[in-house]
Every structure is written in C-alpha cells, then in structure tokens.
C-alpha cells in the first residue's frame, strides 16, 4: 500500500485548507442561515480549483515527500488475524521493545508484557517498502503508551476479554484459549503469579476504559512514558533498516486456540 493517489491527495489538500482557514482570526456574526443540498463526487476526474491548488501545493508536495520516506522493507504482507496475526505480533512486539528501551533510558521499571487491540490497527502493512505514510494509515490516532500496575489475580477481566475476542495482539505473554476461556498463562516464560504485581504496557485509550476495557481503570497505577504507539512503530522499523535487516514476522504460538 502506497501513501499516494487521489484519495490521499484530497485528504492532504482538505487538511491544509482547514489549517489555513483556522489561522484566520477575523470575527464574523451570522446574519442569515440558508440550507441547500449538494452532491459531491469522489471521481478522480473532479476539477481542481487552480487558485486553491496554487496555495496549498507547496505544503502538499512537502508532506507527500515526507510520507514517502521508506522506513523498512517487509518480506511479507502483515495482516490482522486471531488468535494471533502477523500484524498484531509486529505491533505488540514493537510497543513492548520500544517501551522497555524508553523505561531503561529514564530509569523506570520496564513492562512485563504488552497488549493492544486489533481495532486500533486500521490497515494491513504491505510486502515490500513500508513508508511513513503506511504507518500513519496503520495508526492514525495519537494514542500514547502507558504502563499499568496490576496484581496477577486482578488480570482475570483482561484474560476474559482476550478469550471473548479469541485473541488480541500481545507481547511477553503466552496463553491458551479453550472455549473462549484463557488458561495456562505464562509471563516471560514464568507461570502467572496471583500475588505478583505486573507492569503492563498498553495505549491510553484502552487504559482509560476504551473498547469495553473499563476494568483497566482500577489498575494500581497508570503511568505515561511520553511515547506514542505510532512513534514506537516508526522507531522499530527505522532500527531494523539501520541494522541492515528486513522485517520478517513469524507466528510463534504466543496465543494458541485449543
């Protein structure tokens, strides 16, 4: 998937126009209201207003060039799946790896494991060049990474959620799902301990109860690490490229459906 084409051009153009309009501070008062119905076409043949295009084209071209930056090369297309998928494994591993690095750099205790939700991963990633634009399409939200502290015995609602969903993206944790029930949970190779406090990385949307995860709001602590999920993806890919490697994800059975 390339971050090009008429759809993307229109999105950039509209975004730039809105920014320009927002910069105008003249105050107006409404004197008259009138409603009319118009039909808009998404055809590639729609005419372009030359005056508006002249105004926004420098910004459009600069943004298009930036979004075309190649972050890494992927050996396969990454798509979502249950109980485990290539895209989910990449996403969760990237957040776990980058969160650990961030915590180590700031003298914070690192996360034991990470979980995300498939709904936040908006598009698959292509085989071949992965661009910055691809990552903005994958993660269009400004979700921040947070670390929750949760007792092992209080993770049951999370495991029930994972079972009901037949799996979600996770990293650092392994489990089986049987009849939508999670069993045999291991964190970094060690069986889950009921009285142990675990540090769990996720995004702020989920931590604040999004996607029916209201049970997370009762976590012992909720700490932001000043790092977005999107930046974790970007930096993970940049590191792969800088190391002279290509992206290859292997399903490893971290969630197995029995």
Q: What is the pLDDT of residue 63?
A: 74
Q: What is the pLDDT of residue 81?
A: 96
Task: For residue range 119-175, list pLDDT tens digits in order.
Answer: 999 999 999 999 999 999 999 999 999 999 999 999 999 999 999 999 999 999 999
pLDDT at 46 over 80: no
Under CATH, what is the fold of the domain 71-257?
A: 5'-nucleotidase;  domain 2 (3.90.780)
pLDDT at 2 over 50: no
The sign of the dihedral angle between the CA atoms of 200, 75, 238, 126 is negative
**pLDDT band for position 36 (cuts 50, 70, 90):** low
pLDDT at 244 over 90: yes
Top-confidence residue, 55 or 153: 153
Range 134-153 burial, b when 16+ CB lie within 10 A, else e: bbbbbbeeebbbbbbbbebe
When pLDDT is averaged across residues 163-191 and rounded to a whole number, the result is 96
Task: For residue range 193-239, list pLDDT tens digits in order.
Answer: 999 999 999 999 999 999 999 999 999 999 999 999 999 999 999 99
Q: What is the pLDDT of residue 178?
A: 95
Q: What is the pLDDT of residue 1?
A: 41
User: 188 to each of 27, 64, 170, 232, how far by Cα in Å?
Assistant: 59, 41, 12, 21
Task: For residue range 85-126, list pLDDT tens digits in order.
Answer: 999 999 999 999 999 999 999 999 999 999 999 999 999 999
Q: What is the pLDDT of residue 252?
A: 97
Q: 117 with 168: CB under 8 angstroms? A: yes
Model-level pTM?
A: 0.79
When pLDDT is averaged across residues 46-72 and rounded to a whole number, the result is 75
When pLDDT is averaged across residues 32-50 and rounded to a whole number, the result is 59
How many angstroms separate the first and last alpha carbons of the chain? 34
Domain ranges of the chain: 6-68, 71-257
């Amino acid at each position: 998937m390339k971050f090009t084409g008429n759809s993307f051009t229109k999105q950039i153009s509209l975004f730039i126009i809105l920014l320009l309009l927002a910069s105008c501070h003249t105050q107006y008062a409404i004197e008259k209201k009138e409603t009319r119905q118009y039909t808009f076409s998404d055809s590639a043949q729609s005419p372009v207003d030359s005056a508006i295009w002249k105004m926004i084209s420098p910004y459009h071209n600069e943004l298009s060039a930036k979004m075309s930056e190649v972050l890494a090369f992927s050996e396969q297309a990454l798509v979502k799946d249950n109980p485990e998928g290539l895209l989910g494994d990449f996403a969760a591993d990237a957040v776990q790896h980058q969160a650990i690095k961030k915590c180590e750099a700031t003298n914070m205790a690192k996360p034991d494991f990470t979980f995300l939700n498939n709904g936040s991963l908006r598009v698959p990633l292509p085989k071949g060049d992965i661009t910055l634009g691809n990552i903005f399409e994958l993660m269009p939200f400004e979700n921040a990474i947070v670390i929750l502290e949760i007792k092992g015995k209080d993770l049951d609602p999370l495991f029930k959620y994972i079972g009901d969903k037949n799996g979600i993206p996770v990293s650092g944790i392994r489990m089986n799902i049987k009849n939508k029930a999670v069993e045999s949970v291991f964190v970094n190779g060690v069986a889950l301990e009921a009285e142990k406090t675990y540090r769990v990385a996720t995004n702020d949307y989920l931590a604040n109860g999004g996607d029916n995860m209201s049970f997370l709001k009762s976590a012992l602590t909720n700490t932001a690490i000043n790092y977005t999920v999107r930046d974790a993806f970007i930096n993970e890919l940049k590191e792969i490229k800088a190391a002279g490697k290509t992206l290859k994800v292997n399903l490893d059975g971290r969630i197995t459906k029995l």
